[in-house]
Amino acid sequence: MTTVDETAYVFRAAQPEDAEAIEALDGSFTTSTVFRVAVVDDGFAFREIPVDPPLTKVFPEDEPHGDDDGDDDSEDSDSRTFVAVGADGGLAGFAAVSHSPWNRRLTIEDIEVAPDHRGRGIGRALMGHAVEFARERGAGHIWLEVTNVNAPAIHAYRRMGFAFCGLDTALYHGTESEGEQAIYMSMPCP
């Protein structure tokens, strides 16, 4: 049991019985700022701008949440899902990750913290489990994708040591996230 922000949580690899709670976790967020992406001749630039009224993003139910079947405990598997379970036995958050041996990249496929548990260090603790898994696999870097409107996550990732490394202005075309841009962030595996 780990204490995060004076609350006891259990962090462990997901089990098959966690799949339903992972799928049901509320990953929505509200933000009063977004990152505006400007594509310039020789690259791109980000500028954080206020939005009024604040933007609330609810992810579609059918959007995949990475490898969340919980059945990834085999010793040779290159994917894991880690969960944080609160003292009440409820799911507080999860992180689904995968490792690509060819380029030594650990990808954060999905990381979510339930609204009532945000701001307590659970995301950082889950990322710590991802980093440990990355080290076990010999990863050279950790990589993730985040929408430009998820300013709270971008700030959290930057505090954890991630830096901007790429952009895809077309990834969300034809989806419910039309108009948003995918920002890629990475950090060396500590």
Q: Report the 10 Å Cβ neighbour count for 50.
A: 10
Tell me the mean pLDDT in the region 87-91.
94
Q: Report the 10 Å Cβ neighbour count for 155.
A: 14
Residue 141 CA to residue 189 CA, distance in Å, equals: 4
- The overall average pLDDT reported for the chain is 90
Q: What is the dihedral of CA 68, 69, 73, 79, to 10 degrees?
A: -40
pLDDT at residue 159, rounded to an integer: 96
pLDDT at residue 68, rounded to an integer: 39
Q: Are 130 and 189 in contact (CB under 8 A)?
A: no
Q: Is the dihedral of CA 86, 67, 186, 49 positive or negative?
A: negative
Indicate the burial class of 40 (C-beta count within 10 angstroms; 0-12, 13-18, 19 or more).
Answer: exposed
Residue 177 CA to residue 137 CA, distance in Å, equals: 33
Q: What residue ranges in 2-152 does DSSP mark as E strands?
A: 2-4, 7-13, 29-40, 43-57, 79-86, 91-100, 105-113, 141-147
Q: What is the dihedral of CA 33, 186, 1, 68, to 10 degrees?
A: 90
pLDDT at residue 46, rounded to an integer: 92
Tell me: the pLDDT tens digits for 117-176? 999 999 999 999 999 999 999 999 999 999 999 999 999 999 999 999 999 999 999 999
Residue 84 CA to residue 59 CA, distance in Å, equals: 21
Residue 75 predicted with pLDDT over 50: no
Q: Return the percentage of the chain with pLDDT > 90, whole number.
A: 81
Tell me the mean pLDDT in the region 13-37.
96
Residue 14 predicted with pLDDT over 70: yes
Tell me the mean pLDDT in the region 87-110.
96
Q: Which amino acid is at 99?
A: H
Q: Which residues face 19 on adjacent strands?
A: none
